Amino acid sequence: MGKIKSVKFKLNVFEYEKPFHITNSISTKTSNIEVRIELENGILGFGEASPSFRVNGEKVEALLALEPVINEMIKGYDTKNYRQIFDITDKLFAFPSIKAAVQYAVLDALSEEIDLPVYKILGGAKGKIETDKTVSIGTLEERVNDATKIFEEGFRIIKIKVGENLREDIETIERIYEKTSGAKYIVDANMGYTPKEAITFVNELYKKGIDINVFEQPVKMHDIEGLKFVRFHSPFPVGADESAKTKYDVMRLIKEEAVDYVNIKLMKSGISDALAIVEIVKAANLHLMIGCMGESSLGINQSVHFALGTGAFDFHDLDSALIIKEENFRGKYKTEIPYHIAI
């Protein structure tokens, strides 16, 4: 029987290789929660929560206190009835990273039980994906050097963080563009611009002949009108990240015609809402990318299986495990060459 016997939490703190600087936030470490589900038959399933106060309002101290609550909620449920467990854990909307980790751990345990990898349970749409790597905010020289190094490592999709200094951001993109010919660019302002600054930003780049594949979250989380304004005035596709957490957020963004792209992160949505968002965005003829918070290989594993299983994403920004210090690799996937992830 695949019934859940117990759920255990474990705090794992990982240091970044160097401080990770985005608009209004510098991180030196990430405090993640490993979720271990044990079934009555002894089978184990694992997940990882990488909480974000900035995006989700989550605090790791509060999440750790949920261990007995989660046990109470899902003990005795059969992993084969995983939608029942999804429905129950959907009530954890104030703790989406824990919801994600628990929901994934359920699928991981089911996967062990029926001897079918999670990405096949989800449909096995793809066998391989290509991830980007991210250039965080720094001095102009640091950013250009970082981008050049990433390009030399073999990455062909480069994510560039902007949003704190419009003029320097434009110059940075221009200099990076010169050094990394042939790359694709995801530019992420993390809510740093006003709508009009965002439009200046993309129009200046466009005039210089630079192509941006996705311009992520130019404006504040709740400024849906501003996001729509940017979308309608940008020559490049505009994406929502912080504005798109639940499936309800995404339905509203679509009704408001506010986005071209949605960046799904399991840490914002869990598996249940992420599956819904995939279907909603595709039915609206829009596009999807998948991103991450500060997951280690255990957490990135979740997004790898989700991305391969659904096959729904044009871009994969799954690089957090590449930029933190981690002793033991915990993923059920492999990194074939610097920028490809496969089962």
Q: Does 251 bind a second copy (CB under 8 A)?
A: yes
Strands 261-264 and 128-130: unpaired
d(CA 53, CA 96): 11
Going edge to edge, which strands form the sheet with 334-335? Answer: 128-130, 340-342, 334-335
Check binding of 83 to a second copy (CB under 8 A): yes
Spot the catalytic one: 133, 161, 228, 268.
Answer: 161
Report whether 238 contacts 230 (CB < 8 A).
Answer: yes
Region binding a second copy by CB under 8 A among candidate stretches 45-53, 78-86, 136-144, 166-174: 78-86
Out of 43, 121, 183, 342, which residue is the one contacting a second copy (CB under 8 A)? 121
Annotation marks residue 133 as catalytic: no
Contact region with a second copy (CB under 8 A), list: 17-25, 40-48, 151-159, 305-313: 305-313
3-state SS assignment for residue 128: strand
The HSE-up count of residue 158 (CA atoms within 13 Å, CB side) is: 29
Per CB under 8 A, which region of 17-25, 53-61, 133-141, 282-290 contacts a second copy? 282-290
Determine which residue in the list 133, 184, 245, 247 makes contact with a second copy, applying CB under 8 A: 247
Q: How far is the CB of 82 from a second copy (least distance, A)?
A: 5
Number of Cβ within 10 Å of residue 222's Cβ equals 11
Stretch that binds a second copy, among 73-81, 129-137, 197-205, 227-235 (CB under 8 A): 73-81
The answer to whether 188 is a known ligand-binding residue is yes
Per-residue burial over 176-203, b = 16 or more CB atoms within 10 Å of its CB, e = otherwise: bbeebeebbbbbbbbbbbebebbbbbbe
DSSP conformation class of 296: -
Terminal Cα-to-Cα distance of the chain (whole angstroms): 27
Number of H helices, E strands in the chain: 13, 14
For a second copy, the closer of residues 122 and 186 by Cβ is 122
Q: Is 78 in the site for a second copy (CB under 8 A)?
A: yes
73, 140, 183, 284: which one binds a second copy (CB under 8 A): 284
Residue of 248, 325, 329, 337 that binds a second copy (CB under 8 A) = 248
Shortest distance in whole angstroms from residue 224 CB to a second copy:
15
Q: In this structure, which amino acid lies at residue 332?
A: K
Any residues with CB less than 8 A from the CB of 149 and at least 6 apart, and which? none
Q: What is the CA radius of gyration of the chain?
A: 20
Sign of the CA dihedral running 259, 190, 149, 28: negative
Q: Which is nearer to a second copy, 210 or 307 (CB)?
A: 307
Question: Active site includes 8?
Answer: no
Task: Return the residue of 81, 200, 203, 335 that touches a second copy, per CB under 8 A.
Answer: 81
CB of 138 to a second copy, least distance (A): 39
Catalytic residues: 161, 265
Residues marked as binding?
188, 216, 241
Where along the sequence are the contacts to a second copy (CB under 8 A)? Answer: 78, 80-84, 86-87, 114-116, 120-125, 247-248, 250-251, 254-255, 275-276, 278-280, 282-285, 309-311
Residues marked as binding for Mg(2+)?
188, 216, 241
